[in-house]
Amino acid sequence: MARIILYTGKGGVGKTTTAAATALQAAKRGYKALVISTDPAHSLRDSFDQEIGPEPKRLMKNLYAQEIDVFYSVDKYWGKLTGYIQSLFNWMKVDDILAEEFSIFPGMEEVSCFLWVYSHYTEDDYDVIIVDSAPTGETLRLLSLPDVARWWIVKVFPIERKLLKVVRPAVKVVSDMPLPEEETYVAIEDLFDKLNSIHKIFSNSDVTSIRLVTNLEKMVIKETQRAYTYLSLYGYNVDSVIVNRTMPTHIDHPFFKEWRKSQAEYRKEVEHLFSSVPIFEAPLHQSEVMGTEALLEFGESLFGSKDPVSIFSNIKPYEIVKDKGVYTLTLKLPFVSKEEVKLHQVADELTIQIENQRRNIFLPGFLAKLNVEKASLEGGELRVTFEKPARGGKK
């Protein structure tokens, strides 16, 4: 069973360098490692200083790299869906080239990465898959997609599919507009099934670890906090925090005095905020980290003698316990106040929202029959207690 390690963080903190160095260290230890980039900027080729394509490319013994190409991936994974969209644009008399461009909608590149990771994982091609993800905001949207997909496939998809079967004959009488065929719906269903499977893989803390890359700067630390909160909301395990570009202690030039002072203060803050997970530091290097030798040096300074493929922390994001007939769902939500959390239950669905991030949790059968009695937020944990509805009461 392959390990999956996903690096994310604010743009410019050094995610690509860290991901590439991790893959190189893993390969050096004998793991068959793949590093895959979801970032449209595709800096992975620059890190290794060699060309990388849309399929995994062998860079050296045990080390492979891949950069997602949206058009290549669309042909591979979205053929039937984009085929229908293009036929719709052609019916609207849109130019063929424009129709092809318009058929690739936002998010396809990110979802394609998930599908590639799923394919590599299920085919057991590699010992470890290291994902160099897009900046935090895009990554959070990407990681929330399986939840959205599951909600759509459960709540909307069956109704829409049945409705189209009913109206198709009538539409054909009055219009020649192309409607999605059953094979299109089968392709969509297969896509959402895979996204649901991906969520299970990514939320399995024995398989997948998220690693947050940060710098010792106020804005970057704040974004790292938010990312940690939202990742906890979606049930993903953050196993470590990587602090990149720390000022080396031997630099004593007066020009860097204030930098060393501010970094020392922010280091204490990071150690306090993320005390529940291991923290690794990588010093600022004399020149840009590019090429095998520089990446090896970076990886050694970051991990030392530790195995980078290890699970450094494995904390359950949420759990359900029963005590004296009362069920309590506990979800880790660090760095938020109770005023920032909104909670809503409809039948078997519990919705938790923090700012612009929302998670729909489908409750197991024994909880779906109960009502939320109370909720509290203490010590970075949301506790939701369920009780049986009063006789004759409404859900």
Candidate from 74-78, 187-191, 269-273, 289-293 with smallest mean pLDDT? 74-78
The pLDDT of residue 173 is above 50: no
pLDDT at residue 110, rounded to an integer: 66
Radius of gyration of the chain (CA): 24
pLDDT surpassing 50 at residue 33? yes
* DSSP H or E segment with residue 371: strand 371-378
Q: Of 68-72, 97-101, 332-336, 386-390, give the range with the top mean pLDDT.
A: 332-336
| Domain boundaries of the chain, sorted by first residue | 1-315, 318-387
- According to the model, what pLDDT value does residue 317 have? 72
By the 8 A CB rule, do 150 and 193 touch?
A: no
- pTM to 2 decimal places: 0.81
Name the residue with higher pLDDT: 259 or 73.
259
Same fold, 1-315 and 318-387: no
Please provide the DSSP assignment of 77-109 as one string: H-HHHHHHHHHHHHHTT--HHHHHHHTS-TTHH
Contacts for 28 with CB less than 8 Å, ≥ 6 apart: 62, 296
Quote the pLDDT of residue 156.
46
Of the two residues 320 and 89, the one the predictor is more confident about is 320
| Number of alpha helices (DSSP H) and beta strands (DSSP E) in the chain | 13, 15
Residues 128 and 121: their CA atoms lie apart, in Å, by 9
Architecture of domain 1-315: 3-Layer(aba) Sandwich (3.40)
115 pLDDT tier (thresholds 50, 70, 90): confident
The predicted pLDDT at position 19 comes to 98
Written out in words, the top-level CATH class of the domain with range 318-387 is: mainly beta
In terms of DSSP H, where are the helices of the chain? 15-28, 44-48, 70-77, 79-91, 96-102, 108-122, 136-155, 157-174, 182-202, 218-233, 257-273, 292-303, 365-368
Question: What amino acid is encoded at 130 in this protein?
Answer: I
pLDDT at 171: 47
Give the residue carrying structure tokens 């809503």. 344
Q: Which two tokens stand for residue 367?
A: 């909880």
Binning pLDDT at 50, 70 and 90, where does residue 234 land? Answer: confident
The stretch 124-151 carries a mean pLDDT of 76
> Taking a C-beta distance cutoff of 8 angstroms, is the pair 240, 233 a contact?
no
Q: What pLDDT digit, counting tens, does each position of 59-87 carry?
A: 999 999 999 887 787 777 665 565 545 55
CA angle 251, 257, 260 (to 5 degrees): 70
- Say if residue 38's pLDDT is above 70: yes
